[in-house]
Structure 1
């Protein structure tokens, strides 16, 4: 799959003059700030938006190549990507792309987040300590010790909708995504991510809900690797999968599909199939309804 050519579907704004019904004019579009195609402009726009909140409209298709970290998100901010990419430059030091503070509420739409590197830390592409919604976006080629693509920290709320999480990696747990708070993954795909220990696709020790989504071709490849698709662990770990598929994931140790240790996993009209070396067998805590 050529992820660089992934089509990011965007929603066009309806101008006030575009539609007139007899005696009734269309509602004007909400105010927003256009961000020119420079990294300095993006950093300044986030800094300004942290004061009172804002909607930032990125330059369509722009590649914002970062050499230093962006300001943390500290207020309610919408970033409308319109197919733009925010990426760490290849020669830049290690840092993640976006950080949402505990006071922050980020709504990221139609964007590509790439090449973040939180080595020694959590959340390579995006770290969320507050509230994060990711819509119709591509999270790829990010790395961290934990939660390579997106990491939701304790007390956070993370929503991923209609998005692709791919080619991310973690030194330990959660190659694609990791969750210590509350996370929802809806109508999304988690594919070709890797962790050396637990949860090549997703690692959870909070509350995780996955619906109408595919988790496939992920791996947990280190000597202690297990749960190539999903790892759920800790007494607080609760994972519910609804109308989803966990297929063709691999791990060094059983199970390759869904690993559960101490928490609860519920499969609701969900298929866990063709994972290697097993689907769920070998988990310290059984996964009800999972075959082999």
Structure 2
């Protein structure tokens, strides 16, 4: 399966369908900067937008191949991907793809973020220290010590909407996503991610809300691995709420394979936790109410 084409086509269709149902006419496009299909042009456009913010329109379907890191996002910036890919050249030194500073607010739309590598650090694809919204995008095959795909740091706000998080990995926690701040995952899929320790799909020690989403086929595969699907830890301040979602067919070296909870609160609201291995929730240091085995 071509996840890139599937994600952009399917998620784009959802937006078009919503427009038809509501009957709301599209508003005129705001002023934006077109970014030619080169890594240098993208870096220059971000630098310019960091002066006063703005909207960057990437070349449709372009592959922006980076050999050096992009400037961090410091202002309110929208990146309209239109199916474009931003990737690190495999021969380049390790670096993540996008960084959102504490003063930054990034709205990333219909883009593919891949091959970021924050070895020794946090957030392989995207590190968020400010405000981040990811819409109808594919975050795949990124790597870090913590939070392989997307990492939301302490004090950050992250929203993942109608997106696919796939094939990312972490040496420690949060193969797909890791959250130390406030994170919402809505109408999205977290699949085939891996962490060696906690949270193959998602690791949380902040506030996490998962709604109408699927977390499946993720793994926590190291000797201390637990919570192949989702791990909630860090004490009473860590809360995870899953609403109308599925946590299915995740695996871990140690129980539980589905949802791991240590000291915090996990709420399952019309959510199925099924067919995880070796258990769904049993074996967590702190029980997960309403979870069977």
Question: Is the pair's TM-score, using the shorter chain for normalization, greater than 0.5?
Answer: yes
d(CA) in 2 for partners of 1:234, 1:176: 18
Aligned to 1:277: 278
- Compute the displacement of 1:234 (Å): 1.3
Larger helix proportion of the pair = 2
Tell me the secondary structure at the aligned position of residue 99 of structure 1.
Answer: strand
Aligned to 2:56: 56
Contact 2:136 2:161 in 1 (8 A): yes
Tell me the secondary structure at the aligned position of residue 50 of structure 1.
Answer: helix
Counterparts in 2 of 1:176-255, with a 5 A limit?
A: 176-235=176-235, 236-255=237-256
Q: Structure 1 residues 7 and 283 mapped into 2: Cα distance closer, same or farther (>3 Å)?
A: closer
Counterparts in 2 of 1:94-173, with a 5 A limit?
A: 94-173=94-173
- Compute the displacement of 1:239 (Å): 0.1
- Compute the displacement of 1:69 (Å): 0.1
Aligned to 2:264: 263
Contact 2:7 2:136 in 1 (8 A): no
Aligned to 2:88: 88
d(CA) in 1 for partners of 2:99, 2:28: 32
For residues 139-168 of structure 1, give each alpha carbon's deviation from its aligned partner in whole angstroms, at most 9, with x where no partner exists: 000000000000000000000000000000
d(CA) in 2 for partners of 1:63, 1:38: 8
Contact 2:154 2:180 in 1 (8 A): yes
Q: What is the TM-score with the length of structure 1 in the denominator?
A: 0.94
Unaligned runs of 5+ in 1: 12-25
Runs of 4+ with deviation above 4 angstroms? none
Unaligned runs of 5+ in 2: 14-25
Contact 2:4 2:138 in 1 (8 A): no
Aligned to 2:21: none
Aligned residue pair count: 279
- Compute the displacement of 1:27 (Å): 5.8
d(CA) in 2 for partners of 1:5, 1:27: 27
d(CA) in 2 for partners of 1:27, 1:258: 42
Q: Structure 1 residues 27 and 2 mapped into 2: Cα distance closer, same or farther (>3 Å)?
A: closer
